Amino acid sequence: MDNLDYGIIGNCRSAALISKTGSLDWCCLPEFDSPSVFAKLLDESKGGSFEIKTDAKYEIRQEYHKNTAILVTRFADGDDIFEIHDFMPRHHKPNGKYNAPPEVVRYVKYISGAPKFSVYYDPRLEYGMGLTTHYIKANYVVSLTHKQKFDTLFLYTSFNKNIVMDGGEITLKEDGFFLMCYNEKILKPSIDRMALELERTKVYWLDWVAKAPTYKQFNEEITRSGITLKLLTYDKTGAVLAAATTSLPETIGEVRNWDYRFCWIRDASMVIKVVSELGHKNSAKRYLQFIIDLMPDKDEKLQIMYGINKQKTLTERTLDHLDGYKGSKPVRVGNAAYKQRQNDIYGILMDVIYEQLVKFSNDIENVEELWSITKGIVWIVAKHWKEPDKGIWEFRGEDRHFTFSKVLCWVALDRAIKVAKMFGKQRKIEKWSALEQEIKRDIHQNAWNKDTNAFVQSYGSKHLDASVLLMEPYGFIHAKDPKYVSTVRAIEENLSNDGLLYRYKNEDDFGLPSSSFTICTFWFINSLFKIGEEEKALKLFDRLLGYSNHLGLFSEDIDFKTKRLLGNFPQAYSHLALIECAINFSKKMSEERILESIG
């Protein structure tokens, strides 16, 4: 079964996906949201790929070099063995900044025997919209297109360029390399230089992982998910991407195909909160600066999402020449959801501001700006919380009073009051507390459905929604409160399918949902854990981890029947929720061990 069996490599400028057989099938250069140079993922014939081909007798195994984003694909036929070490260079410069050029290194490591392979190198620039032509020069192969707009890509290699481009057989006797880069190199690359880049990148990732705490349980899963979240951050501005891809469908053959190479305020804030928990304050500081830069006016409303370079207009269009993943059309670039109103983003952002002030209060340079943003958020929430919106799931139909949005409006006030207490702003505390209580009463009165015995998706609705499970983690209600417990039970009964959760089951703009939304299953597991069903939660968690791909990576969705991964990949939402679950389990198990040893 095809299970999105890809590994991600990247350097916080862009990323690439490499299949379990060593084929580079997705890469956008020079940045995450640039047009693709390889997009076989979205069209087998027109997308373009960079493949390593061997005889069928070779066994292929793939894993990450431990605690790094370096992907190792091992090809073995008896004693004939070699490895491809794929990475995008990232390491510290002497001036303290990062070296993260728009390039991919495929380091070919000779292990033993006389292994043989050939290369299929077929970039298709600008999403494959026009003809890409290749020219073999003295030092490199240049690929160029000029139908849509002029663009180029350069390939440097230690192997014979003519043999490489002809797909001829190469017998490996020593290490070699392929360097694919967006810009022409000033100095000709060498095998020694590529080996140095490999080691420097390895050291960077090992150092990055070493900053995080070690957990007694699920440490490997937490580490891999943490690295994946880091790979979805964009250094230049501090933005965090929802995923590295566009248009991987939520259901094969349907039209729920979206471009996720943007920064959603909600997703990014949730990611930053988790990344901070892992001890990486620089990512948090950069993200807060990203927000500050987006809010120059004190009364400016935030969009729900932005381009990674702070673009405010993300016009959606379709690439009709591409067949789509497994024939799932349309392929979209841009995302029309940027125009939507989603009132929950203020609470989520306020939560992350509060968390950063608590964690790094002595090391935050922009305290005054954050206080201004806090006051601005309260002003916006006070003015708009009674209005309907599109909700967390971005319904494209009419606006509604979504429970999750209302709860997060309450969170905005709750966290703003906590920040005001930190700064000794007594008059603000008194004024804001009245509004906080008003919102809380409104939710209890209008979101609770007596017939369902649960908090429901929106005011006056009977439909259940997994997002209301977050009422407890955000502090709106206690885990043991009977209303929360009965909500968890109702959601289990109505939205759970073999331990996997629907977001909701009511019809939306595109029909009835037909796949499980991975983050919702993690939320559900967490809520079971919180209400006291720890053994059941752990069992479901272990089972869910088994549905990841061969490298422990998750996409956005899972097919209920086949357990196949669906949706954009890898998905920040899924991995941040995995980390939250795993940390909760690990902390609990550590506490139990301490109590047992005392006993």
The angle at the Cα of 483, spanning 477 to 487, to the nearest 5 degrees, equals 100
Question: Residue 599: which pLDDT band, with cuts at 50, 70 and 90?
Answer: very low
pTM to 2 decimal places: 0.95
Q: What is the pLDDT of residue 87?
A: 98
Per-residue pLDDT tens for 469-517?
999 999 999 999 999 999 999 999 999 998 999 999 987 766 677 789 9
Please report the pLDDT score of residue 254 as a whole number. Answer: 85
Q: Are the C-beta atoms of 259 and 247 separated by less than 8 Å?
A: yes
Instruction: Give the pLDDT of residue 495.
Output: 96
Statement: residue 592 has pLDDT above 70: no
Cα angle, residue 256 at apex, residues 400 and 407 outer, rounded to 5°: 30
CA 4 to chain centre: 15
Listed in sequence order, the DSSP H helices in 401-517 are 403-422, 426-446, 482-495
CA distance 283 to 411: 23
In angstroms, how far is the first alpha carbon of the chain from the final one? 49
Give residue 293's pLDDT.
87
Q: Tokens representing 457?
A: 């998706």
More confident residue, 74 or 283: 74
Q: How many residues does the chain have?
A: 599
Angle at 245 between CA 248 and CA 583, to 5 degrees: 100
Q: How far apart are CA 472 and CA 532, in angstroms?
A: 13
Q: What are phi and psi of 508, to 5 degrees?
A: -120, -160
Spacing of C-alpha 465 from chain mean position: 22
The C-alpha angle 79, 82, 85, rounded to 5 degrees, equals 155
Beta bridge partners of 82: 75, 110
Question: Among 73-77, 301-305, 331-335, whose mean pLDDT is lowest?
Answer: 301-305
How many C-beta atoms lie closer than 10 Å to residue 226's C-beta? 25
Q: What is the pLDDT of residues 230-278, one digit of tens each?
A: 999 999 999 999 999 999 999 898 888 999 999 999 999 999 999 998 9
CA-CA distances (angstroms) from residue 344 to 116, 303, 308, 390, 459?
A: 56, 11, 21, 10, 15
Crossing angle of helices 265-277 and 219-231, in 10° steps, is: 140
Residues 446 and 507 sit within 8 Å (Cβ to Cβ): no
Say what the pLDDT of residue 360 is: 77
DSSP notation for 303-342: PSEE-TT--S----EE-TTS--GGG-PPPEES-GGGG---
| pLDDT category of residue 177 using cuts at 50, 70 and 90 | very high
User: Would you state the structure tokens that stand for residue 140, as one six-digit string?
Assistant: 């490199």
Distance CA 353, CA 350 (A): 5
Token readout for 132 is: 């890409």
pLDDT tens-digit map of 306-317: 999 999 999 999
Cα(532)–Cα(218) distance, integer angstroms: 20
